[in-house]
Amino acid sequence: MSVEPNPVFAELPTTIFSVMSALAVEHGAINLGQGFPDEDGPVAIRDVAAGALIDGPNQYPPMRGRTELRGAICAHAKRFYGLDFDPDANVVVTSGGTEALTASIMGLVGQGGEVVLIEPAYDSYAPIAGAVGARVKTVKLAPPHWRLDAEALAAAVTSETRAVMLNTPLNPIGRAFTREELEGVARVVARSHAVAICDEVYEHLIFDGREHIPLITLPGMAERVVRVGSAGKMFSLTGWKIGWVTGPAALIDVIAKAHQFITFTSSPALQLGVAYALEHEMDFTLNLTKTLQANRDLLAERLARLGFEVLPCEGSYFLTAGIRGLTNESDRAFCERLTREAGVALIPLSVFFSGGQPDHLVRFAFCKKREVLEAALQRLERYFHAEARSRGGLGSPTVYWGSTAEGGEGGTA
């Protein structure tokens, strides 16, 4: 008898992040694909975790997370957004944002329910929605400004919709939704039977003086929104996989029941490290934002000069750019060629869409040391200058970001 694994996963390819990272290693390419910093977060945080590994605790922590960490997560939400959360009722600590999202979808959406994704969407949402037997509906944003239109969202929401996934700042396009856009989302959610699962893992990585606005802070949203966070992104410790979900007790209770059978809990030493970090190392995060913004600017300017059509970037680790000035091949073929021939690995944007996607956009991760970005840019410059010599010149530079503080409404530079 043949075996019949779950088709949701059996038919899935391996995530693009692993694929491009492996290709980068194979070709000795600089990896601007998978989003991870190449400098670890503060040693003081690692010291606290290392001490706890040696001295304990080393047995199962409480299912919802160590008290110290739940307290620190609530204090952070109060400090930055004025949110009043009770550590015993409104928080679950998870194994990264990934598990927080999975537990939220599993807890809040059942068989036959609908999940609305705003595309481009992070690649873990759809398979988990599929695995719980939910139908996925999508709202597609359009480049270059990727505005979120409440009417388009309303058209995708039905009486069967149980969750709207909202990621801001948004991986891969770096959009940070404005208050006006979020008010539109809040109106749609309030009129529906859905909750919003807000993926805010890049909440502090937001540029040009913009403010991160959690949807849960908008009127009428306190009972309808859960918020996902990740220490990996805040403290440049992506391998630690400590994340959390915060929100109303009624929703957190159900999410905790999903979490208890996914992982039950996560490393106590790392939880204590993150509790320390949230209390003592937020300056690291706030400074990281400044470094990332400078990295974005460096990359944007130099890529534009090479003929990339650089799109706005308001937050996250990622800058996106159009490649039609350089090639007619698909984004994926272009990324593979660049990895092999130029020695720089990127991520094609088409993987973040479910169909009908643009295939002329690529994503650069700029959460890297300055010298690594410089080296990558020099490789790209050598490669494209050599190519341009054989074609008779580079295209004209295009930059959409930076000319207004409001939302990257700048035109062609």
Of 379, 252, 345, nearest to 19 by C-alpha is 345
From CA 328, how far away is CA 401, in angstroms rounded? 24
From CA 319, how far away is CA 243, in angstroms rounded? 24
Site for ligand GLN in 150-179 (CB under 6 A): 171
Closest residue to ligand GLN in the complex (CB) = 35
Nearby residues of 181 by Cβ (< 8 Å), 6 or more positions away: 147, 148, 150
- For residue 206, the 8-state DSSP code is B
In the complex, what is the shortest distance from the CB of residue 100 to ligand GLN, in angstroms, rounded to a whole number? 13
State yes or no: residue 42 binds ligand PMP (CB under 6 A).
no
From CA 242, how far away is CA 259, in angstroms rounded? 13
Beta bridge partners of 347: 363
In the complex, what is the shortest distance from the CB of residue 97 to ligand PMP, in angstroms, rounded to a whole number? 3
Q: Cis link prior to 172 (omega < 30° from 0)?
A: yes
State yes or no: residue 35 binds ligand GLN (CB under 6 A).
yes
In the complex, what is the shortest distance from the CB of residue 230 to ligand PMP, in angstroms, rounded to a whole number? 3
State yes or no: residue 273 binds ligand PMP (CB under 6 A).
no
Q: Cis link prior to 144 (omega < 30° from 0)?
A: yes
Piece of 146-154, 203-211, 235-243, 361-369 that binds ligand PMP (CB under 6 A)? 235-243
State yes or no: residue 322 binds ligand PMP (CB under 6 A).
no
State yes or no: residue 97 binds ligand PMP (CB under 6 A).
yes
Nearby residues of 258 by Cβ (< 8 Å), 6 or more positions away: 102, 103, 104, 106, 107
In the complex, what is the shortest distance from the CB of residue 412 to ligand PMP, in angstroms, rounded to a whole number? 29
State yes or no: residue 204 binds ligand PMP (CB under 6 A).
no
H helix intervals, 191-338: 231-234, 249-262, 268-280, 282-306, 331-337
Binding partner of residue 69 among ligand PMP, ligand GLN, none, CB cut-off 5 to 8 Å per kind: none
In the complex, what is the shortest distance from the CB of residue 15 to ligand GLN, in angstroms, rounded to a whole number? 6
Piece of 94-102, 133-141, 290-298, 400-408 that binds ligand PMP (CB under 6 A)? 94-102
Of 403, 400, 393, 368, nearest to 32 by C-alpha is 368
- For residue 32, the 8-state DSSP code is -
Is 203:214 a contact under the CB 8 Å cutoff?
Answer: yes
State yes or no: residue 398 binds ligand PMP (CB under 6 A).
no
State yes or no: residue 34 binds ligand GLN (CB under 6 A).
yes
From CA 322, how far away is CA 175, in angstroms rounded? 16
Q: Nearest 5 degrees, angle CA 183-CA 186-CA 190?
A: 145
Binding partner of residue 260 among ligand PMP, ligand GLN, none, CB cut-off 5 to 8 Å per kind: none
State yes or no: residue 350 binds ligand GLN (CB under 6 A).
no
Nearer to ligand PMP, 90 or 171 (CB): 171
From CA 297, how far away is CA 309, in angstroms rounded? 14
In the complex, what is the shortest distance from the CB of residue 41 to ligand GLN, in angstroms, rounded to a whole number? 16
Among 21, 31, 167, 178, binds ligand PMP (CB under 6 A): 167
Among 140, 175, 227, 241, binds ligand PMP (CB under 6 A): 241
Beta bridge partners of 163: 115, 195
Q: Cis link prior to 219 (omega < 30° from 0)?
A: no
What phi and psi, each to the nearest 5 degrees, are found at residue 318? -125, 140
State yes or no: residue 37 binds ligand GLN (CB under 6 A).
no
Among 33, 65, 87, 96, binds ligand PMP (CB under 6 A): 96
Is 41:244 a contact under the CB 8 Å cutoff?
Answer: no
Site for ligand PMP in 110-129 (CB under 6 A): 122
Nearer to ligand PMP, 284 or 383 (CB): 284
Q: Which spans of this chain sit near ligand PMP (rule: CB under 6 A)?
A: 35, 96-98, 122, 167, 171, 199, 201, 230, 232, 238, 241, 243
List of residues contacting ligand GLN (CB under 6 A): 15, 17, 34-35, 171
